[in-house]
Amino acid sequence: MAEDKKKITKKKSVTKKTTAKAKQVKKNVSTKKVEKALVIADAPRVKKIYNDEVVPLLIKEFGYKNPMQVPTIKKIVVNIGVGEALDSNSALNAANNDLMKITGQKPKQNRAKVSIANFKLREGSVVGTSVTLRGKRMWQFYDRLVNIALPRVRDFRGIKRSGFDGRGNYSLGMRDQSTFPEIDYNEIDKMRGLQIILVNSANSNEEGMRLFELLGMPFVKLEN
């Protein structure tokens, strides 16, 4: 009788352990599903469009065999040249503040690599400021650039298609920083131009141009 009781007790403890383990596994799976759903919901709007609409279209048009071959935006570099920083520190601070407001990221200073006597330029002098955007901030900046900043340009009729470098990367110049809604026109000390470089993984200008077209870049319309 004692042995039977021991066996029954062992079976009950094993059953309890198995049930507890199963519950823990189920809880972990459900937690992972919730976390994954939160990550997807938190993804930038343009990134969702890229994954859901652009990738299938590019695979169909260019015949990629692997989804990893589909071009994507890798990084966005935003530069402001500050030549007057050689004579005024306030100009550099103003450019840094403007770039920080526009991108939401702290800029880094670009220094001269060589000395040029004719321009009174010494090696190591600050000549500009720049920001490199990746990931979530990159997609958010692209969304604001295409849908808010560019349409605010006066007499805007589309951007030129000649800014590609042969590998699908696109370089865009903007006349002043006040085009971005984050900048208050009454608070800026001077109009400064920006250079925006869109770096992607395309192998040709054709692929890069098509990628940006599908992502809403307002290129000048081609004449029939």
DSSP 192: -
| pLDDT digits 0-9 by tens, 149-177 | 998 888 888 888 888 988 889 999 888 88
Phi, psi of 109 (to 5 degrees): -85, 135
Please state whether 64 falls in left (phi above 0), alpha (psi between -120 and 50) or beta: beta
Which of the 8 DSSP states describes residue 87?
A: T
Question: Backbone phi, then psi, for 197, in 5-degree steps?
Answer: -115, 120
pLDDT of residue 154: 83
Q: pLDDT tens digits for 4-30?
A: 555 555 555 656 666 666 566 566 655
Is the CB of residue 121 less than 8 Å from the CB of residue 115? yes
Asked if residue 194 lies in contact with residue 186, where contact means CB atoms within 8 angstroms, the answer is: no
Whole-number pLDDT of residue 183? 85
| 37 CB-near residues (< 8 Å, 6+ apart) | none
Looking at residue 37, what is its pLDDT?
39
Q: Helices 55-62 and 205-214, interaxial angle, to 10°? A: 150
pTM for the full predicted model: 0.75
Please tell me the distance from the alpha carbon of residue 31 to that of residue 29, in angstroms, as a whole number.
5
- Which tokens belong to 192? 């400064």
pLDDT average, residue stretch 110-126: 68
User: In degrees rounded to 5, what are phi and psi of residue 122?
Assistant: -110, 150
Residue of 189, 194, 205 lying closest to 93 (CA atoms): 189
